[in-house]
Amino acid sequence: ENRAMDADDAFAIFDAGASDTAASYAHSTLAPLIRSFVQQHAGSIASSVDAAGHGEVASSIRCAAAFGVDTEKSAQVVSKRCWDALQDGGAPSSFYAAYALSQLLLGALADTPLAAAALIDRAFILGGPAIVPHECMTLIEEQLASECAPKLLTSAIHRDPEVTLASASPDDGILLSLDGIHLSLERALQRLSQPSAEDFRPFFTRNRPVVIEKAMRRWRALRRWRDFLWLREQYGTRLVPVEVGSLDAAHSQRTETRALIMRSSSEWREQIMPLRQFIDVFILSAAPGPTPPERAGAADEDAALCDCEAKDGCGSNVHAVAKRPRHAEAAMGAAQAIAGSCVRAQTDAVALPVGYMAQHALFEHLPSLRDDFEVPSLCSLGKLQHVNAWFGSARTITPLHFDSYDNLFAQVVGYKYIRLYGNDQSQYLYVQQGGGSGLRAQGNISSVDVEQPDLDRFPLFEQAEYTEVVLGPGEMLFIPAKCWHYVRSLTSSFSISFWF
């Protein structure tokens, strides 16, 4: 509910110099919600920053959290100092939380719901779900819907084309052939149709991958999310993290650890951009369908959404994310998706943009999307840990790796080729080893390029046994913990992973 503020309320600073509209917005429940959260966490964040040797930043955090006349100025100082340090590299991990805290404070001071959403989106992306009250994300959605609903009007519906399966002869032991893939009968996964928990239990207890059919029939997402223009219209102004590359640039990274090398390569980068820009550039441009009609001033609006980062030293409406940590990985102490974003060339012919919103906590970021799907009941055999979105163009690749949790991987839109190796095949997979606490130290990444293996360097790989599947809309794949898997998107694709 809305709460009236007294003149001596410490948060009255948010009303200073505001227009009538802005003043009304500042009196919303967002400001006191953020104040309460900041009061609980600012002290510990400031102490961590101070312990890392950045006393001046810590002092600015405490000043901002005091909600006095210098709140906005101090929050801007924290924002700029942390952003610059994160961009340069080598900043302490506490700077992520400090930066997110500054965005929350500035979001509560914002003049409009749209401006507040952009700041709070950045807090969520850089700080993770733990640093942003979940009530904030719900409240922002409600306020955007009531005060600045999208005005994009269109009856055009974009449909991702069905994958055309080439004819294959069962006599040859081939189930299907497409896009350079020849699925064989001997490597096919077993399938279960709408299994009960008891039907599924033997696969779960024995760590056996299995395809699950007809378990998503009630999901509204199967119909809604195929319409990329619907997603664009409903959520287009929201900022999201996108891992970006291009086909020829990615193809040039011929290394045994291509995904990891690309993380430090100038040819690969992670950006924050409005969702509509991601869909226009990386999804609609790469598949047949209508060109979305632009609202007047949309380009200026996109620039305004990122204006805060431009002030922080990144003068672009699409700006790089400074070594954003994967929050689920940080919480688990492991690098789970390794380079879910690795964009590898399938052809040298053209340089097409490839983008991936990979392993993002989208359903905490945009809570209303949760209404479109259900957590699979089969997850009750364990304890649900993380639900992440994987939304990207065709040709995105996740290199061969394993995760620490069991995974029900649900394919909502498009098609993905997935190859799986049991953990007992590790001796043939040339597991990367390394010291320290980085990705290599986890021991869950293979050095082998699965579809283009260098058998001179990795001769034992040829002996590794595997199963494979092309996962389509409405199908789930159970991937047991520590089961090696490799994923390639055959079309534009939207998937959900349920780690349990």
Q: How confident is the model at residue 11 (pLDDT cuts 50, 70, 90)?
A: very low
* Burial (CB count within 10 angstroms: exposed 0-12, middle 13-18, buried 19+), residue 347: exposed
Share of the chain above pLDDT 70, in %: 68
R_g (Cα) of the chain, nearest Å: 24
**327 pLDDT higher than 80:** no
The reported pLDDT for the residue numbered 146 is: 78
Contact 60, 74 (CB under 8 A): yes
pLDDT in tens, 303-315: 656 654 444 433 3
Q: What is the mean pLDDT of the chain?
A: 79
pLDDT in tens, 82-104: 999 998 888 999 999 999 999 99
The Cα 25–Cα 86 span in angstroms is 31
Residue range 104-131: average pLDDT? 94
Residue range 66-74: average pLDDT? 94
The reported pLDDT for the residue numbered 412 is: 98
- Comparing C-alpha atoms, which of 233, 240, 243, 228 is closest to residue 284? 228
pLDDT in tens, 203-214: 999 999 999 999
pLDDT in tens, 261-275: 333 344 568 899 999
Residue range 418-431: average pLDDT? 97
308 vs 373, residue with greater confidence: 373
The reported pLDDT for the residue numbered 76 is: 98
Residue range 7-20: average pLDDT? 33
**492 pLDDT higher than 80:** yes
Q: How confident is the model at residue 345 (pLDDT cuts 50, 70, 90)?
A: very low
Q: How confident is the model at residue 21 (pLDDT cuts 50, 70, 90)?
A: very low
pLDDT in tens, 173-187: 666 666 667 788 789
356 vs 172, residue with greater confidence: 356
The reported pLDDT for the residue numbered 89 is: 86
Share of the chain above pLDDT 90, in %: 61
Residue range 485-494: average pLDDT? 95
**336 pLDDT higher than 50:** no
The reported pLDDT for the residue numbered 325 is: 52
Of 71-75, 173-177, 312-316, 423-427, the poorest mean pLDDT is in 312-316
- Comparing C-alpha atoms, which of 12, 62, 36 is closest to residue 135? 36
Name the range with the highest mean pLDDT among 110-114, 156-160, 170-174, 321-325: 110-114
- Comparing C-alpha atoms, which of 333, 482, 323, 295 is closest to residue 405? 482
Residue range 459-470: average pLDDT? 97
